[in-house]
Copies of this chain bind each other. A is one copy, B any other.
Amino acid sequence: MKFEIKDRDASGRICKLNTPHGIVTTPNLLPVINPNKMIITPDDMKKLFGAEIVITNSYIIYKDEELKKKAISKGVHSLIDFNGPVMTDSGTFQSYVYGNIKIDPIEIVKFQKKIGSDIGTILDIFGTPDQSKVEAEKGVVETVKRAKQSLDVKNDMILACPVQGSIYPDLREKCAKELSKINSDLFPIGGVVPLMENQRYSDLIKCIIASKKGLNPAKPVHLFGAGHPLIFPLAVALGCDLFDSSAYIKYANDRRMIFPWGTLKLDDISELPCCCPICSCYSASELKKMNKDEVTILLAKHNLYVSFAEIKKVRNAIYEGSLWELVERRASSNPYLLDALKELRSLENKKWLEKYEPISKNKALFYTGENTIHRPLIFRIHNRLLNRYKLKFFTSIIFPEGKKPYSKMYSQEIQKILNKASDVNICVNSKIGPVPFELDEMYPFAQSIFPKKTDEETEIYVKEVLNKFLEDREIIFWSNNRTLNEIESTGNKGHDFDLKRISAVADMQFGNNASEGLFDGDIRVVKSKRTNKIRNIFVNNKHVLSMRAGDGMFTLKIDGGRIFHEFFEYPKLRVVVNDESVSFIKEGKSVFSKFVIDCDSDLRPLDECLIVDQKDNLLAVGRCLLNKVEMLSFNYGMAVKTREYIA
């Protein structure tokens, strides 16, 4: 099964999933097709809503003699008249709803194979949230056992093996690990419908996170039974790739309309708060007057328009790097979702999320409220300020928040200070945390939009970061000439601001001491004539780095790579490729995941890296698209985009 990452944001990703009947872009939504009653045909699902893949139930087909006969003779695609990818479920949910069902777990997998399902599902044991841990563990053991047996008979069918374990994170993680070990193809997260029905979103995301932690990151994850768009952004941000919706028709039957922010009963609506083709064509009172069949199909269509638009919205947010913003905005629609979001604030979860978070984004970081300061990217820059940035001097002068870039806004004040003493630290006490002047063009310090006043929770949090950052230093808050008089003249005057900037950015980006290693010799900084911003950096006449105008971070040139390679010990900054691929890299080809055999665990998506062979000979420099665990797991797709190579 080919599955590769194309783009990413938060811990979410845009992937391509290859199936025998076509490629599916994830995140995506699989509308549930009832083979007995196709209110909307799979063909219309494709034409009207852009559905790429649908899901139907093999158990229902198996139990109905006529459907079964037709499915066996002509295949499931013909049965439901759809020539795209078809996933089938196994009857597990029916066993949850109706109690024990009579079907052999291996028989139903063989049946799915027989009717030509693109993605089949094992008959797993549905773990309910009210189970005891002992019961839940029994279910997990049986699920894993059935998965093993099913994998033996599946042949080339993609097989989905759901992660169970009720609401016990350790069981979820254990189940996920065991299913990953036996090489299942696709991982639904099962047993979560009762959590969603009761809006227990905190428990839901605990289940998702525990499962994801145990799962092979190179395989698609399906949040089984999630069809309400309210949960899509957060679930995707945590790494879910697929959703399925029977909600569109269940809600429609119940005269309920789905919106990205919640659900409303048609009869409680005075005016349709939506611009979909249905809501743009009919009024609420027209819909209310229709007969049941008529209104059900229109509401189902509305529900699908809205759900698929939300999938597109989530994907677009990944492309533009604004997925956390979408997640936070959605949480403001639902207090239970807000509770769920707060689960992500634990140190353990922040550390996990930070591993998958890209280094930089296409779009400025927008503050939405008190959740913003807890984003993994901000957690990272705070950590790097504390651990990587070198606060050189004892005296620290702190400026208040101002117009960006700060070094421009406060240029006169800074000049006055430096004329008196250049051996002082100068920072801005910004809404996002302390920002040393040299970092004021680096993402996200320059590329962030905050309100004039943030909330008190954020203020307290940021103050703590400032205090840690300036621990044991003398702190002087700037207030014009009064401050200037306070600063002791030290005799040290003047300074090279460009050198300060490139050193600080290099340390933040490449790690502790990077600047020491790199900027040793004759340094030349070339600036843009138009913007006066730093463009290229030469060391001993060699072009080692370029600075990107967009995010104020460096791209690494091969000559910079050579210096780092010598300066930093293995495995720092390295991506190690196997011998087989060395010749390709030497032709400038990019690094594909399947060739990676080791990697610096500190590398993050979009980080600059050194590409080396198994003997740590430098081959090239490039930009990571994946982190270590991903590079070592994925069999398809690019791991590093090579920039410059040694021929």
Measuring CB to CB, which residues of chain A are less than 8 angstroms from any residue of chain B?
48-49, 202, 261, 268-277, 279-280, 305-306, 308-309, 312-313, 315-317, 319-320, 328-329, 332-336, 338-339, 342, 366-370, 449-453, 455-457, 460
Contact = CB atoms under 8 A, between A and B. Distances in A.
Contacts of A336: 451
B270 A315 contact: yes
Contacts of A329: 261, 329, 332-333
B339 A269 contact: no
Contacts of A339: 451-453
Contacts of A319: 270-271
21 contacts: A270-B316, A271-B312, A271-B315, A272-B316, A273-B309, A273-B313, A273-B317, A274-B312, A275-B275, A275-B277, A275-B305, A275-B309, A277-B280, A279-B312, A280-B309, A329-B329, A332-B332, A338-B367, A342-B451, A455-B455, A455-B456
Contacts of A449: 335
A489 to B, nearest CB: 40
A280 B453 CA distance: 39
A627 B328 CA distance: 37
Contacts of A368: 332-333
Contact of A460 (B274, B276, B369, B456): B456
B328 A273 contact: no
Given A333-B368, A338-B367, 15 more contacts: A202-B452, A270-B315, A271-B312, A275-B276, A329-B329, A332-B332, A335-B451, A336-B451, A338-B369, A339-B452, A339-B453, A369-B370, A369-B455, A370-B455, A370-B456
A305 B280 contact: yes
A316 B316 CA distance: 28
A342 B456 CA distance: 13
A415 B329 CA distance: 43
B453 A456 contact: no
A338 B451 contact: yes
Nearest to A368: B332
A370 B460 CA distance: 14
A280 B276 contact: yes
A270 B317 CA distance: 9
A317 B261 CA distance: 13
A274 B275 CA distance: 8
A528 B261 CA distance: 35
A450 to B, nearest CB: 6
Contacts of A450: 335
Given A270-B319, A456-B460, A332 B328 contact: yes
A455 B457 contact: yes
Given A368-B333, A369-B332, A369-B369, A309 B274 contact: yes
Contacts of A315: 270-271
A216 to B, nearest CB: 27
Contacts of A274: 275, 309, 312-313
Contacts of A276: 275-277, 280
Nearest to A314: B273
Contacts of A312: 271-274, 279
Contacts of A335: 366-367, 449-451
A308 B273 contact: no
Contacts of A334: 366
Q: What are the 10 tightest A-B residue pairs by CB atom distance, in nearest-first order?
A: A275-B309, A273-B313, A270-B319, A335-B451, A456-B457, A271-B312, A275-B276, A338-B451, A332-B368, A275-B305
A272 B367 CA distance: 23
A586 B408 CA distance: 75
Nearest to A333: B329
A638 to B, nearest CB: 18
**Residue from A271, A316, A453, A457 whose CB has the most chain B CB atoms within 10 Å:** A271
Nearest to A305: B275
Contact of A457 (B279, B316, B452, B457): B457
A366 B335 CA distance: 7
Nearest to A340: B451
Given A329-B261, A329-B332, A370-B455, A316 B271 contact: yes
Contacts of A273: 309, 312-313, 316-317
Contacts of A49: 280
B328 A269 contact: no
Given A319-B270, A335-B367, A366-B335, A306 B275 contact: yes
Contacts of A332: 328-329, 332, 368-369
A328 B308 CA distance: 25
A312 B268 CA distance: 14
A451 to B, nearest CB: 4
B369 A279 contact: no
A402 to B, nearest CB: 16
Nearest to A275: B309
A277 B366 CA distance: 29
A275 B308 CA distance: 8
Contacts of A320: 268, 270
A356 to B, nearest CB: 20
A342 B453 contact: yes
Nearest to A7: B270
B370 A370 contact: yes
A218 to B, nearest CB: 23
A342 B48 CA distance: 43
Contacts of A333: 329, 366, 368
Contacts of A370: 369-370, 455-457
A334 B305 CA distance: 26
